[in-house]
Structures are given as C-alpha cells and as structure tokens.
Amino acid sequence: MPTFLSIFEYDGSPYRGWQSQPGLKTVQGEIEAALKTLTNHNIIVQACGRTDAGVHALAMPASFEADNIDANRLREGLNGILARQLISCIDVYEMPSGFNARFDCKGRAYEYRILARRAHPALGRGYVHSVRVPLDVDAMNFAAQYLVGRHDFTTFRSSDCQADSPVKTLDVFRVSRRGEEIVIEAKARSFLHHQVRLMVGSLVQVGKGHWEPVDLKHALEAVDPVASGPMIASDGLYFVRGIYSELPEPGPYLRS
C-alpha cells in the first residue's frame, strides 16, 4: 500500500491539540475523518510532532498509507473536505514504503511570537502573545544561549511529560525582532512536553528585567521545575517545520 507524506497548516485555536482524543475536537481527528470520507477507509495519521491546544502549525508533516489514490487527488480531496476547518493540506508526496513522519524526522523547529507594546493586538489576537511592557531583546537573546547544547532540561519539563529522559540537545535558541514582533526560534531533534513554552516564559522574565541573563543558566542547572519561570500561553507558539535527511523535492516546508 502506498505511503504518503502530507504537509498541514492549521490554526490551533479551536482544537484541543493535535492528538486524537475521544469526544474532543482535535487536528488529527479532523484529518482522519476527512480521509475516511475521501477513501472510505479508517486511516491512522502519524505526525512529526504533537502540538498542544491552541498551538498553530505552519507546516506539520504527517504520514499515512492509502490505496487506490494518488498524491494530487489526496491533496485536492482533503482540502475540499477540510474547507470549513482551520486546516489546510499544503502538499502531498508519495514516499518509500516504511517512511514514518515521526520516526524519520531529524529535527523540529518552533517559533514563539510576542507583541511587546502597550496596545493589545486588535488583529493578531490568538496568533501572537501580548506583553504590554517593553522587553530587552538583546538580554533575552544573550540569556537564550545558555540553553543551547546538550543539557538535562528537567527545569523546563512538564510534570506529565512521558519522555524517557530529560536530556535533550537544543541546536538553536535565539531571539530577534521581526517588525513589531519579537520572535523566539527553537530547533532540536525533539523537545520535552511544554519545554518551549517554559523556556520562553523564563526568557520573558529576563526581558522584563525581573531576571538577569545568568539567572536562566542557574535555572537550568537547578534541574528543578520550581526554578523555571511561568509557562507562557500557547497562543504565540507555532510548529514551523520538520527536518528530514532524504525527501524527493520537498519544497520549502521541510528544509533545515
């Protein structure tokens, strides 16, 4: 049976996260329901990552098997069925047998968007996190570098995280301005549950002047969740892309 890789864009606001949950509206549930309508078969979709409630995705890779249909019909059919959802199928690729969007992924990139100004966002509400005081971007970026590399990230791990180990390698963690927004980029092979939101929440403490940059280093070294700053809301978080070593002409969505 052919294996396909689909790239999904979605607004996470109305969904209880990616993963299917009985009785709840989720991104995976809506996509699998659309595939059932399209193919008349129950198809399980394996995503590159699992986003929480309210988290958005610019290009979430997800793989599945389907018979008697080609990539073009899948893309057009899914978009037709999902037209009333806040989910779009950007593209579909036929992949070698055995490909898995989760286990074959070599890296995952997220970004968090903050609007730091006195006025609340009238147009971007739900898509950017509002902080109504100035933030010191240079101090935040300096502090962020303490977390880059291989560390025990217990401090930035949720209590219900199911990962076997808190040790992760953070490849990129940087803070910059993009117009009026402050953007925090994070890239790693994988992340702990809520790791990005807890790290960003701690960076905001630095940006507000409540922490010195070195306090982020001390929080990391404490290996204690109590040492973390407050977890920031999900509204400004985006899954940006998955990174794969071998893909047939994957377009811009899966490049490092």
**Catalytic residue IDs:** 52
Report all structural domains of the chain as residue ranges with CATH numbers, in order of start.
Answer: 3-104 (3.30.70.580), 107-239 (3.30.70.660)
Q: Which two tokens stand for residue 28?
A: 């995976």
- Average pLDDT per consecutive 10 residues, the chain (256 residues; last block may be shorter): 94 95 95 96 94 95 94 96 96 92 94 93 90 96 98 94 92 94 96 97 98 98 97 96 74 54
How would DSSP label each residue in the chain? --EEEEEEEE--TTSS-SS--TTS--HHHHHHHHHHHHHSS----EES--PPTT-EEEEEEEEEE-SS--HHHHHHHHHHHGGGTTEEEEEEEEE-TT--TTTT--EEEEEEEEEESSSPPSSSBTTBEEE-S---HHHHHHHHGGG-EEEE-GGG--TT---S-SEEEEEEEEEEEETTEEEEEEEES---TTHHHHHHHHHHHHHTTSS-HHHHHHHHHHT-GGGS-PPPPGGGEEEEEEE-S--SS-GGGG--
Q: Which two tokens stand for residue 150?
A: 């291989």
Whether this prediction's pTM lies above 0.85 is answered by: yes
Give me the pLDDT at residue 253, please: 56
Q: Which two tokens stand for residue 148?
A: 């880059």
Give me the pLDDT at residue 247, please: 65
